[in-house]
C-alpha cells in the first residue's frame, strides 16, 4: 500500500515517537510500497569456476570435517544467509570415492539434481538409489537419508531445499540416525517399480505430500523432451518444458517446490517471461544465453543461475540445451499468490 503522507503536525510527530517505546509503529508513515519482486538479484555461477573450487574443497575438508561437503550458492543480497533467493536453498555437494555422508533427517524437503560423476548412491527411507548425471532425486521431509560413493570418481550434485520455509515458520528440526548409514529394508528399484511406470500399488490411496517416487532418471526425461520437440510446437518462452510430477497425485513432488526440465533446440530464441516464482536454473546440457532483468549471462553446461521473483527472463540456445529448474511454485499456488506473464 502506498499511503499518502499524513500531515506532520508536532502532535503527530510526538505521537509516532512515543509509541515506538511500546513496540508500535504507524502504518501511515511506512514508505515501502506493495509491489511484486524481492531485493534479490539475478546471478550466474559458472561451472568453470565452481568445479575447481569443489575439487579444492575436497583437499581442505576431509571426511570427518563435515557431514556434508556442500558449497552454498548465496544471492549477492543474502550473503551469510544461505539462500539463493528468499525462498530457496541451493548447494553443490561433492562426495569422493569411498566416502559416506551419514544418515540424518530434517523437516526441510530436499531434492538432488545430479551434475557429474557416477558411482554415488542415496538411501532414502530404507531404499537405495544410484545417482546418475541428470537424475532428479527426491528426499521427502523427515525421511532418513544418507549418501555414499562406491565408484571410482568424484560425484557432484546440486541440493535444492525448502529450508527457507522451515526457517520462516520456525519449524526446523533435525536428527542424526544412530548409525552412519540406515538399514535398507526395500530393494533398489522398489519405488520405481511401485510408482514409476504409470502404475500404482493396487491398494494405494493417493495422499497429498512429497512424491513416493524417489528417482526420476535422466534418460527417460531426456527422451520425453526429444519426442515432444520433434512432434509438437514449442512454447514461445519455454521451448519444450515438462514438470516433474508426484505420480500418486499429479501434483508437484513437494508441497513447497516444483521442478522442471526443458529442451531448447539449437537456435531457439525464447520470448521474455516473468513469474512470481523464484527460479533456480541448472544447465544439464548445451550452451546459450539468458537475459534476466536486462543482465546478459552466457551459459554452458552445469552453469547455475537464478531469476528471483518477477525478474523477466528470456532464454536462447546456441546448441540443443537441456535445462533443469526448480521453484517455489507449489507454495505460491496453494496460497493463491502466483502470477505469471508472457511478455
Ligand atoms: C542436507 O541434509 C544435505 O542431506 C545437503 O545431503 C544440504 C543443506 C542444508 C541442510 C541440510 C544432504 C543440506 C542439508
Indicate if ligand 1 lies below 6 Å from the C-beta of 105. no
**224 within a domain of the structure (yes/no):** yes
Find the 144 Cα to ligand 1 centroid distance in Å. Answer: 12
User: Is the C-beta atom of 161 inside 6 A of ligand 1?
Assistant: yes
Structural contact between residues 257 and 300, judged by C-beta atoms closer than 8 angstroms: no
Residue 2: what pLDDT?
Answer: 47
The answer to whether residues 28 and 1 touch, using CB atoms and an 8 Å cutoff, is no
**14 part of a folded domain:** no
Q: Specify the residue with its C-alpha closest to ligand 1, atom 6.
A: 68
Residue 23 lies in a domain: no
Tell me if 15 is assigned to some domain: no
In a domain, 72, yes or no: yes
Residue 101, ligand 1, Cβ within 6 A: yes
Distance CA 33, CA 293 (A): 20
Do the domain assignments include residue 28?
no
Q: What is the phi/psi pair of residue 47, to 5°?
A: -60, -35
Closest CA to ligand 1's atom 5: 159
Q: Determine the distance separating the centroid of ligand 1 and the alpha carbon of 299, expressed in angstroms.
A: 26
Count the domains in the chain.
1
Structural domain boundaries enclosing 296: 43-342
Can you give the CATH number for the domain in which 48 is found?
Answer: 2.60.120.10
How far is it, in rounded angstroms, from Cα 146 to Cα 124?
A: 7
Q: What is the pLDDT of residue 163?
A: 98
Q: Is the CB of 163 under 6 A from ligand 1?
A: yes
71 located within any domain: yes
Angle (nearest 5°) at CA 156 between 142 and 318: 115
Q: Which residue has the cell 532464454?
A: 315
pLDDT at 39: 97
**Could you tell me what percentage of the chain is helix, strand and coil, using 3-state DSSP and rounding each to the nearest 5?**
20, 35, 50
**Structural contact between residues 305 and 231, judged by C-beta atoms closer than 8 angstroms:** no
What is the rounded distance in angstroms from the CA atom of residue 176 to the CA atom of residue 166?
A: 18
Q: What is the DSSP letter of 17?
A: H
280/160 Cα distance (integer angstroms): 9
Give pLDDT tens digits for 28-85.
Answer: 998 877 899 999 999 999 999 999 999 999 999 987 788 899 999 999 999 999 999 9
**Distance (Å) from CA 272 to ligand 1 centroid:** 33
Write the pLDDT tens digit of every residue in 289-320.
999 999 999 999 999 999 999 999 999 999 99
Q: Is the CB of 146 under 6 A from ligand 1?
A: no
Residue 60 domain flag: yes
Contact criterion met (CB below 8 Å) for 109 and 71: no
Among 61, 70, 95, say which to mutate for ligand 1: greatest number of ligand atoms within 8 Å of CB.
70
Average pLDDT across each block of 10 residues of the chain; the chain has 343 residues. List them in order.
Answer: 71 96 94 91 98 97 89 98 98 97 98 98 98 98 98 98 98 98 98 97 94 98 98 98 97 98 98 98 99 99 99 98 99 98 98
The pLDDT score that the predictor gives to residue 1 is 46
Q: What is the 3-state secondary structure (H, E, C) of 233-300?
A: CCECCCEEEEECCCCCCCCCCCCCCEEEEEEECCCCECCCEEECCCEEEEEEECCEEEEECCEEEEEC
Q: Flag whether the pTM goes above 0.75.
A: yes
**C-alpha pair distances (Å), 144 with each of 102, 139, 169, 193, 343:** 10, 8, 22, 21, 43
Dihedral over Cα of 165, 247, 273, 223: its sign: positive
User: Probe ligand 1: pick from 54, 71, 91, max atoms within 8 Å of CB?
Assistant: 91
Contact 197, 189 (CB under 8 A): no
Amino acid at each position: 500500500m502506498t499511503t499518502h503522507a499524513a500531515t506532520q503536525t508536532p502532535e503527530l510527530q510526538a505521537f509516532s515517537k512515543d509509541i515506538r517505546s511500546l513496540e508500535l509503529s504507524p502504518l501511515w508513515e511506512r514508505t515501502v510500497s506493495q509491489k511484486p519482486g524481492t531485493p534479490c538479484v539475478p546471478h550466474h555461477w559458472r561451472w568453470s569456476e565452481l568445479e575447481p573450487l569443489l575439487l579444492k574443497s575436497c583437499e581442505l575438508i576431509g571426511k570427518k570435517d563435515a557431514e556434508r561437503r556442500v558449497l552454498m550458492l548465496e544471492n549477492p543480497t543474502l550473503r551469510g544467509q544461505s539462500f539463493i533467493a528468499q525462498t530457496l536453498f541451493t548447494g553443490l555437494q561433492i562426495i569422493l570415492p569411498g566416502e559416506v555422508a551419514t544418515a540424518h533427517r530434517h523437516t526441510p524437503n530436499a531434492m538432488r539434481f545430479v551434475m557429474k560423476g557416477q558411482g554415488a548412491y542415496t538411501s532414502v527411507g530404507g531404499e537405495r538409489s544410484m545417482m546418475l548425471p541428470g537424475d532428479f532425486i527426491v528426499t521427502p521431509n523427515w525421511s532418513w537419508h544418507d549418501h555414499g560413493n562406491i565408484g571410482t570418481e568424484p560425484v557432484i550434485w546440486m541440493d535444492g531445499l525448502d529450508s527457507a520455509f522451515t526457517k520462516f515458520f520456525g519449524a526446523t528440526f533435525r536428527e542424526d540416525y544412530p548409525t552412519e548409514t540406515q538399514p535398507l529394508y526395500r530393494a533398489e528399484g522398489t519405488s520405481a517399480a511401485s510408482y514409476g511406470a504409470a502404475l500404482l500399488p493396487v491398494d494405494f490411496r493417493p495422499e497429498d505430500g512429497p512424491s513416493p517416487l524417489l528417482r526420476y532418471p535422466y534418460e527417460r526425461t531426456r527422451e520425453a523432451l526429444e519426442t515432444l520437440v520433434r512432434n509438437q510446437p514449442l512454447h514461445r518462452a519455454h521451448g519444450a518444458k515438462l514438470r516433474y510430477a508426484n505420480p500418486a497425485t499429479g501434483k508437484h513432488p513437494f508441497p513447497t517446490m516444483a521442478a522442471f526440465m526443458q529442451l531448447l533446440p539449437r537456435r531457439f530464441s525464447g520470448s521474455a517471461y516473468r513469474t512470481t516464482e523464484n527460479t533456480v536454473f541448472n544447465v544439464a546440457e548445451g550452451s546459450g544465453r539468458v537475459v534476466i532483468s536486462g543482465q546478459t549471462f552466457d551459459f554452458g553446461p552445469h552453469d547455475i543461475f537464478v531469476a528471483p521473483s518477477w525478474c523477466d527472463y528470456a532464454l536462447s540456445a546456441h546448441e540443443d540445451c537441456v535445462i533443469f529448474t526448480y521453484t517455489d511454485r507449489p507454495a505460491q499456488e496453494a496460497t493463491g499468490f502466483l502470477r505469471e506473464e508472457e511478455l
